[in-house]
Structure 1
C-alpha cells in the first residue's frame, strides 16, 4: 500500500467541503488534480470512499470511518514532523564525548570552556577513559562521539583527523642524549625506555616507529599516565617517547628534563570518531565542529 500524506489531506478537504472544486481551493489544487488524488487513494485502499452526485459529494461508510480518524492522525503526524524539524535548531542539552587521558587533560578542557562560552545552553559532558574503552563507548552508542588517536581497524567508524603532532624524546637533563634539537629514532637503540602501556592509543604507533627505524630498545616500565612516566624518567629509570601534546609547560615545569623531536618525523593523528552510517544530531554536529576548531589552534609542538 502506497498511500501518501497528500492524498489523505485532499480526502480530508473533500469531506469537509463536499465539493471537489471548493476542496481544491482549500488545498491549492485544481479540480482535476483533486479527482485524481481521490481515485488514487481509493485504488490503493480498494474501497470507494466517496459517493459522487451532480449536486454533492458525500462519504461512503468506509469514507466516514476513515474521516472520523483522519483529523487526529494527521494532527499527530504534523506535530511529530514539526518536532523532528525543530531538532535542526535545538541548541540546548547534553553532548557526551569520550576521550583518552592525554587528550582529556590537554585538549578537552579548552573545548569545554569554548563550548560554555559560545553555547551556554549546551553541556559538553566528558568521559575520561583509555582508548579501548573510548572506542567501545562510541560503538555501543554510550557517547555521541569520541576523540582518539588513529584507531586500528576503524571500518565501522567515521573518522575525521583534527590534529597531527610529532613524537618526542624525553630524558633527564644529565642524560647523554639530552640537549639535542633533534635525534634519530635509531639513536634510542640500547636504551632503557619507560613507555605508556598498550591501553594508550599512542603505544601501537611508538612500537611501530621503533620497529620501522630498527631501534632495538629495552622497555623496562609500561605505565598508564604521562605524569607517572615523567616521574620514572626523573628517577633515572629510563627515557621515554611521548607525543608533543603530553609535553605541556605544566607537566614539564620544575622538572630537570630535556625534550627533542625524533627524526624522521612520525606524527600521530588525533581523530574524532562516531558510528558509521549514523548521522549526528545538529547539536552534536555543532560540538564536533567546535572540538575540531579548537584542535586546529593547538601549536605545532616542540
Structure 2
C-alpha cells in the first residue's frame, strides 16, 4: 500500500492545533489545499479521522488510534532524513535519545552539562517517555538510543544491561517505617499506597513479582508519573514505591527510603539501540556519558571535535 505522507502530515497538524486555519498556516497551505489532503487521506483509508464543526475539530476513535503512531513514524523519518543531510555536510548538529522520566529528571541534567562542554552547539532532543514508548522511538529512528527497562523481547533491538537496582519504599521521616532497616510487603497491608499507572514499566515489574498478594494492599491512589507520587508522599497522603537509582542522588527533605523485603524486587536498566545500525560519533559520545553516570563513575572527558 502506498503511504500518503502529505496526508499524514496534514492530519497531524490539524490534530495538534485543533483548527484547519492554524494547521494551514503552519504548513503554509491554503485551507482548500489542506482540506483536499485530508479528504484524500480519509478516502484512501476508508475511515473518518476528524469531525469538523463550525468551531472545533475533534478526532474520531480511529483518528485517536492513528495519531500517536503517525507522529512517531514521521518523527523517525524526519530524523533519518536529517541524519543523511548532516552526513553529506560532514557535521552533526543534533542528537535525540529516549530516557525514562525518573532517570531524565535525576541524572540526565548532569550528563548534558558534560556533553555541552564537549559538543557546544549540538542540539539534544529528549523523549522522557515510558519504557515501551522509548523502544518504539529507537525502532522508528526518532531516537538514536534509549535508556529504559526490558518489558518484552524485541528482535530488532539490541539491549545492553547497564545497572540493576532495587525498588524501595518512600515514606515521610515522621512515619513509623522511617527508622526501620527493612519493611516487608506484608507490613504494608492497610497502609494507603500510591502506585503508578499500568502503562509504566515499573508497575508491571512490581505487579508480576507480587502476584496475587498485590490485591491485599491498599492501593488508594494511582498516578501517571513517579514525580507526582513523590509529591503526594511529601504531602502525607500516602507511601509509594520507587527505584533506588532514580532517588539516591536527589535527596528530598523530609523523606526516607526504606528497603523492601519478602519479596525484594529489582529492575535492570538497559540501553536500547537498533540492531545492525551503528551510532553516529556524537550519539556514541552522549551514550558514553550516560553509561558513566549510571555506573556511578566519573566519565573520561569526551574530546571536542
Q: Please indicate the TM-score interval, normalised by the length of the shorter structure.
A: 0.5 to 0.7
State TM-score, norm by structure 1. 0.61
SS in 2 for 1:287: helix
Q: Return closer, same or farther for 1:298/1:207 CA change in 2, 3 Å cut-off.
A: farther
Q: Distance in 2 between matches of 1:125 and 1:214?
A: 37
| Runs of at least 5 residues in structure 2 that lack an aligned partner in the other structure | 1-83, 299-305
Q: Is the 8 A contact 1:169 1:261 kept in 2?
A: yes
Q: Is the 8 A contact 1:164 1:270 kept in 2?
A: yes
Residue in 2 aligned with 1:258? 256
Over alpha carbons, which structure has the higher Rg? 1
User: 2-side partners of 1:101 and 1:160: how far apart?
Assistant: 19
Which residue in 2 is equivalent to 1:273?
272
**Shift, 1:298, TM fit:** 6.5
CA distance in 2, matches of 1:203, 1:281: 33
Distance 1:169 1:121 in 2: 41
1:34-82 per-position Cα deviation (integer Å, ceiling 9, x unaligned): xxxxxxxxxxxxxxxxxxxxxxxxxxxxxxxxxxxxxxxxxxxxxxxxx
Provide the C-alpha distance between the structure 2 equivalents of 1:185 and 1:283, rounded to a whole number of angstroms. 44
Stretches of structure 1 lacking an aligned partner (at least 5 in a row): 1-83
Match of 1:285 in 2: 284
- Whole-angstrom distance in 1 between the partners of 2:98 and 2:162: 15
Work out whether residues 102 and 246 of structure 1, in 8 Å CA contact, stay in contact via their aligned partners in 2. yes
Aligned CA distance change for structure 1 residues 227 and 290 (closer, same or farther; 3 Å): closer
Assess if the C-alpha contact under 8 Å between 1:104 and 1:128 holds in 2: yes
Q: How many residues align?
A: 211
What is the distance in 2 between the residues matched to 1:156 and 1:142?
Answer: 15
Structure-2 residue corresponding to 1:153: 153
TM-score in terms of structure 2 length: 0.60
Deviation at 1:214, TM superposition (A): 7.1
What is the alpha-carbon distance in structure 1 between the residues aligned to residue 100 and residue 249 of structure 2? 20
* 2:137 partner SS: helix
Instruction: Name the residue aligned to 1:109.
Output: 109
Q: Deviations over 1:277-299 (max 9, x none)?
A: 32223332232222112211179
Q: Determine helix, strand or coil for the equivalent of 1:151.
A: coil
1:210 aligns with 2:197: no
Distance 2:282 2:235 in 1: 47
Question: Does the C-alpha gap of structure 1 residues 124 and 245 become closer, same or farther in structure 2, counting only changes over 3 Å?
Answer: same
Task: Report if aligned partners of 1:98, 1:146 keep a CA contact under 8 Å in 2.
Answer: yes
Q: Find the residue that maps to 1:178 and give its secondary structure.
A: helix
SS of corresponding position for 1:191: coil
The equivalent of 1:119 in structure 2 is 119
